[in-house]
């Protein structure tokens, strides 16, 4: 993958569409609700469909096509709020005998892996790698505290992809949230006309779309940067993560507002997407901490661009 990508290849996009259909057939929006009721069924609920899709045969670390397919799969998983850490598993380092990788903060180690019996590695932004040797009680959206045992300090090259792929999952969530919102405002009538006829509603929708489309293009850039092994791949990943969290704030704020009260209800998909977007937005670092780390890392050099 040498040339910067403005769009995923056709094969990856087709794979993403296949995954969307497969997740729908496997239960679609019901999956996350079923998993929440019984977290230890997460693997049973979606393990088979992920196997059928060949998810764990994708080589996101060393194969450019595999990397694009992995990104497309994460996006499709996000679309259905799939109750499974697809991105974390696809980010698995090649040199460790584990099932997946969780990027963690120095001062707080947690991951959305409650209810799953898998072998995990963790890595900090400085490349310190650990085995996950214990975990706490599973909280909202399967988040659990992790107990770590340091193994080595060779994980610097693992971090960028570990940050980028979850942003693709979040992108899929935003795709869906916007789609659901368009459907809602087209259907719902007030004052004798659909909400979509009100310019105040239309303009809010564009706020969401500008953020969503901006995240999409940065996600492609950071994917390319990580895949090409650019020296600045981690900074690119952090820039993506910062934008992803900001985009999620805007998109979910708009989508909740335009859904009105029904958007909070368990019977409405938006409410599930919204609450299950939280772990990705919060872990390993929230918005301020992500921006702070990015600022410290780029120093006075800034991001690679036209004039730097």
The residues binding other proteins (CB under 8 A) are 6-7, 178-179, 182-183, 186, 196, 199, 202-203, 205-206, 209-210, 213-214, 217-218, 220-221, 239, 242-243, 291-292, 294-295, 298, 300-303, 305-308
Complex with other proteins: residue 30 or 295, whichever CB lies closer? 295
d(CA 83, CA 32): 5
Residues 204 and 195: their CA atoms lie apart, in Å, by 12
- Rounded CA-CA distance 26/46 in Å is 7
Closest to 26 measured CA to CA, from 15, 37, 18: 18
CB of 176 to other proteins, least distance (A): 13
For 123: left if phi > 0, alpha if psi spans -120 to 50, otherwise beta; the answer is: beta
Q: How far is the CB of 212 from other proteins (least distance, A)?
A: 9
Structure-block tokens of residue 46: 């979606």
Nearest distance from C-beta of residue 259 to other proteins, angstroms: 15
Q: In the complex, what is the shortest distance from the CB of residue 229 to other proteins, in angstroms, rounded to a whole number?
A: 19
Distance CA 195, CA 254 (A): 13
Minimum CB separation of residue 307 from other proteins in Å reads: 4
228, burial (CB in 10 Å: exposed 0-12, middle 13-18, buried 19+): middle
- The residue (of 137 and 306) whose beta carbon lies closer to other proteins is 306
Nearer to other proteins (CB atom), residue 128 or residue 177:
177
Measured from the CB atom, the residue of 62 and 213 that comes closer to other proteins is 213
173 upstream amide cis, omega within 30 of 0: no
Q: How far is the CB of 271 from other proteins (least distance, A)?
A: 21
CB of 225 to other proteins, least distance (A): 11
Cβ nearer to other proteins, comparing 4 with 133: 4
Instruction: Determine contact, residues 201/101, Cβ cutoff 8 Å.
Output: no
Nearest residue (CB) to other proteins, 94 versus 217: 217
> Between residues 152 and 179, which has the closer beta carbon with respect to other proteins?
179
As a three-state string, the secondary structure of 214-279 is HHHHHHHHHHHHHHCCCCCHHHHHHHHHHHHHHHHHHHHHHHHHHHHHHHHCCCCHHHHHHHHCHH
Residue 198 burial (10 A CB sphere; 0-12, 13-18, 19+)? middle
């Amino acid at each position: 993958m040498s040339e910067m990508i403005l769009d995923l290849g056709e094969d990856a996009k087709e794979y993403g569409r296949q995954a969307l259909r497969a997740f729908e057939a496997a239960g679609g929006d019901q999956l996350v609700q079923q998993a929440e009721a019984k977290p230890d069924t997460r693997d049973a609920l979606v393990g088979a469909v992920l196997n059928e899709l060949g998810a764990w045969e994708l080589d996101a670390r060393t194969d450019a096509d595999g990397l694009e397919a992995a990104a497309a799969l994460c996006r499709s998983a996000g679309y259905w709020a799939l109750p499974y850490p697809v991105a974390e598993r696809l980010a698995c380092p090649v040199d460790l005998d584990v099932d997946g990788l969780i990027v963690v903060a120095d001062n707080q180690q947690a991951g959305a892996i409650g209810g799953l019996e898998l072998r995990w590695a963790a890595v900090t932004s400085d490349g310190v790698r650990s085995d996950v040797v214990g975990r706490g009680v599973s909280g909202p959206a399967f988040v659990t505290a992790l107990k770590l045992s340091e193994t080595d300090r060779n994980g610097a090259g693992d971090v960028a992809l570990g940050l980028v792929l979850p942003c693709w999952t979040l992108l899929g969530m935003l795709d869906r949230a916007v789609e659901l919102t368009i459907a809602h405002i087209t259907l719902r009538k007030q004052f004798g006309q659909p909400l979509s006829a009100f310019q105040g509603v239309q303009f809010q929708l564009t706020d969401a779309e500008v953020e969503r489309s901006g995240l999409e293009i940065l996600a492609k850039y950071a994917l390319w940067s990580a895949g090409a092994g650019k020296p600045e791949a981690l900074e690119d990943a952090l820039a993506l993560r910062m934008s992803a969290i900001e985009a999620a704030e805007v998109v979910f704020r708009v989508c909740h507002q335009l859904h009105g009260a029904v958007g909070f209800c368990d019977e409405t998909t938006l409410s599930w997407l919204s609450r299950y977007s939280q772990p990705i937005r919060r872990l390993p670092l929230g918005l301020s901490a992500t921006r702070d780390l990015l600022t410290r890392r780029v120093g006075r050099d800034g991001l690679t661009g036209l004039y730097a």
